[in-house]
């Protein structure tokens, strides 16, 4: 039976389907946010079987990242590896935060422009540049159906940075070179809140700083780490795990059963959901990524997925400020083209040049080391 390594050999070492998988997941996030930004009722969606694909869109992105990043983490020293990761996520992040603070904010704020720039909330918003989310700008989007939030997508950035740092630490201590340790860590990480219950309860008697750290590690954001480790596990065991449509169908059946049998209004925040669904989610993402999935022609000029993810929220909020569209599908139709164009511009003007420069620097460092 063909393994993941066999399939990687067939496709030249890189999954031809990952570009489309990334793009679909990011547009799925955009659809979900569009419902909120148009004032829609998310509970109605969570009460339907659609709760699961929407609930897994960000975790699946982290499993994809874990699968793709593990190879470079094992191949490169820690410093070049982390610099490569920084070159991928920070330039576009800086651009979107700059757009929010210097363009969307001044255009939409209800405050005098001098008060806007001198307000503490303006300066606190700049913590997003370091991956620490701060969603508010003074007087911006206060009258929108989803008031106040400038870019809700930024909540995942610190967890993404955390996953990259964790991988560097695991490689440095040799943990990532012991394949059994990675799925064991993912299992323990996901199982702790299932066994002990909500972290807010069992951590309440601990000193405040320790309790705060535990709430981060085992809270909603912290549950993205086991998904990242799930993707890394597929890579580490790529020579043993079969790449097979039958296994993918079984995993898809498990997710479908969960979508139909579980109540998304409760299960979406239940740690047990993560424990049950990490393995089938990781397998499906990696399996699909190694398929020859055709990317639409208009997207073949680059990787626009990260741009779509970062830009859609402030663009949709800005459109809502001026248009106040009442239906989510109207906002999606109006916002789709500008979001896609900005994502393309971000790739060609910012992300791709920085990545190319970083790649040249990495090659020079490798030659010098040799």
- 124: pLDDT strictly greater than 80: yes
Distance between CA atoms of residues 198 and 170, nearest Å = 27
Answer whether 0.85 is exceeded by the pTM. yes
pLDDT digits over 147-181, tens only?
A: 999 999 999 999 999 999 999 999 999 998 888 99
Q: Which domain holds residue 178?
A: 4-369
Q: What is the DSSP letter of 150?
A: S
Number of other CB atoms surrounding residue 207 within 10 Å: 9
pLDDT digits over 22-74, tens only?
A: 999 999 999 999 999 999 888 888 889 999 999 999 999 999 999 999 998 99
The number of distinct structural domains making up the chain is 1
Q: Is 369 exposed, middle or buried (0-12, 13-18, 19+ CB in 10 A)?
A: exposed
Spatial neighbors of 242 by CB under 8 A, at least 6 apart, are 1, 2, 3, 4
Higher pLDDT, 364 or 168: 168
């Amino acid at each position: 039976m063909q393994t993941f390594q066999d399939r990687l050999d067939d496709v030249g070492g890189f999954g031809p389907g990952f570009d489309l998988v990334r793009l679909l997941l990011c547009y799925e996030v955009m659809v979900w946010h569009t419902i909120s930004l148009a004032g829609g009722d998310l509970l109605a969606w969570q009460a339907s079987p659609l709760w699961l694909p929407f609930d897994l869109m960000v975790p699946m992105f982290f499993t994809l990242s874990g699968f793709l990043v593990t190879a470079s983490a094992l191949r490169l020293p820690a410093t070049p590896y982390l610099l490569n990761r920084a070159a991928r996520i920070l330039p576009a992040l800086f651009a979107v935060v700059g757009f929010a603070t210097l363009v969307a904010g001044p255009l939409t704020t209800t405050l005098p422009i001098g008060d806007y720039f001198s307000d503490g909330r303006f300066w606190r918003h700049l913590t997003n540049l370091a991956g620490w989310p701060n969603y508010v700008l003074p007087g911006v989007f206060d009258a929108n159906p989803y008031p106040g939030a400038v870019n809700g997508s930024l909540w995942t950035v610190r967890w993404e940075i955390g996953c990259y740092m964790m991988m560097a630490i695991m490689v440095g201590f040799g943990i990532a070179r012991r394949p059994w340790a990675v799925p064991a860590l993912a299992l323990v990480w996901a199982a702790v809140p299932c066994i002990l219950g909500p972290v807010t309860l069992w951590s309440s008697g601990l000193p405040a700083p320790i309790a705060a750290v535990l709430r981060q590690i085992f809270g909603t954001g912290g549950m993205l780490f086991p998904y990242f480790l799930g993707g890394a596990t597929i890579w580490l065991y790529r020579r043993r795990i079969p790449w097979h449509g039958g296994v993918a169908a079984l995993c898809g059946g498990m997710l479908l059963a969960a979508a139909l049998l579980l109540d998304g209004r409760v299960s979406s925040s239940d740690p047990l959901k993560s424990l049950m669904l990490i393995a089938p989610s990781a397998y499906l993402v990696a399996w699909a990524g190694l398929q020859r999935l055709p990317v639409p022609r208009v997207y073949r000029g680059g990787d626009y997925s990260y741009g779509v993810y970062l830009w859609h929220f402030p663009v949709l909020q800005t459109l809502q400020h001026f248009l106040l569209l009442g239906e989510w599908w109207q906002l999606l139709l109006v916002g789709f083209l500008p979001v896609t164009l900005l994502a393309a511009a971000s790739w060609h003007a910012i992300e791709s040049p920085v990545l190319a420069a970083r790649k040249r620097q990495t090659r020079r460092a490798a030659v010098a080391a040799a």
